[in-house]
Structure 1
Amino acid sequence: MNSLLCIYALCVVALFVKMLAISCYQGFYRISRLTFKHPEDAGFVGRPASPEELPQVLRAAQAWANDLENIPLFFVLGALCLVFNPPFMLTAGLMVLFTVARMVHTLTFLARWQPWRTIAYAVAITCLLGLAAMVSMGAVRHF
């Protein structure tokens, strides 16, 4: 089996677990505070619906939305890189660095740590640009 495919697969799973953790984070705050915005959820625990979401839940939703702007691009670019057999070390480094940067971004987003959040975001975007460049070079090479 291709070692780069294994690294890509592990990065995909790590990013999935990270996004799942954000959902669990939201659920933890809702359940521990017994505060639910949707009437059916609040009614299930015998509480009235809250007019507003908890701040922690809103923050996590923003982190989740940011993931949805970036992580699917990694899935596509990473998979396309595998098609063109790019340089192993560079591609593996970009994939792992992207994954770590997105994890750091989420932690710093939830903790409200600047400038670390912006730095993590910039690192992840730079990795995506690098993967896009390798896909482009591979496509041109095989044209």
Structure 2
Amino acid sequence: MSSPLHLFALCVLVLFIKMLGISCYQGFFRLRHRAFTNPEDAGFFQRPANAQELLPVSRAAKAWANDLENIPLFFVLGGLCLALDAPAVATAWLFGLFTVARVMHTLMYLGGRQPWRTLAYSAGLACLLGLAGLVGAALLPIR
């Protein structure tokens, strides 16, 4: 395995663990407060259903939704960079920076920290644009 592939695999693993953590975070708050919006969940715990989610659960759900808009693009663009043998150093930096940016975005989202959340989002987006540029450069080499 090549070094960029190892780093990509590590980044995918970190992002998986981060997303799993968001799910556990939501479950923790729902169970801790026995607060559920789904009637069947509330009924299982012999509680009335809540009209709305707890704030930490709602924030985590929004962070999760944002991940679903960005992380699949990373998987695809990263895989294309590897398949097209894009420059290893640039690819590795973008993989690492994207992963750090997404972890920071989640932490800032859960903590309600602005402007840091937006800065982390923007850094991740810049990495995606960089990966797209590397894919484009690999497809249309300048001679």
Q: Does the pair score TM above 0.5?
A: yes
Q: Secondary structure at the match of 1:7?
A: helix
1:61-140 alignment to 2 at 5 Å?
61-140=61-140
Q: What is the CA-CA distance between 1:49 and the residue it aligns to?
A: 1.1
Identity %: 59
AA aligned opposite 1:26: Q
How many Å separate the matches in 1 of 2:3 and 2:61?
A: 34
How many Å separate the matches in 2 of 1:116 and 1:53?
A: 24
Which residue of the partner structure matches residue 48 of structure 1?
48
How many Å separate the matches in 1 of 2:113 and 2:48?
A: 34
Aligned residues: 141
Question: How well do the aligned residues superpose, as a CA RMSD in angstroms?
Answer: 0.8
How many Å separate the matches in 2 of 1:51 and 1:87?
A: 51
Q: Secondary structure at the match of 2:28?
A: helix
Which residue of the partner structure matches residue 19 of structure 1?
19
Where does structure 2 lack aligned partners over 5 or more consecutive residues? Answer: none
Alignment partner of 1:57 is 2:57: yes
AA aligned opposite 2:52: E
Where does structure 1 lack aligned partners over 5 or more consecutive residues? Answer: none
Query: Which TM-score applies when normalising by structure 1?
Result: 0.96
After superposition, give the CA deviation of every residue in 1:62-121 in whole Å (9 maximum; x if it has no partner): 111111111010000000000111111111000000000000000001111111111111
How many Å separate the matches in 2 of 1:49 and 1:78?
A: 42
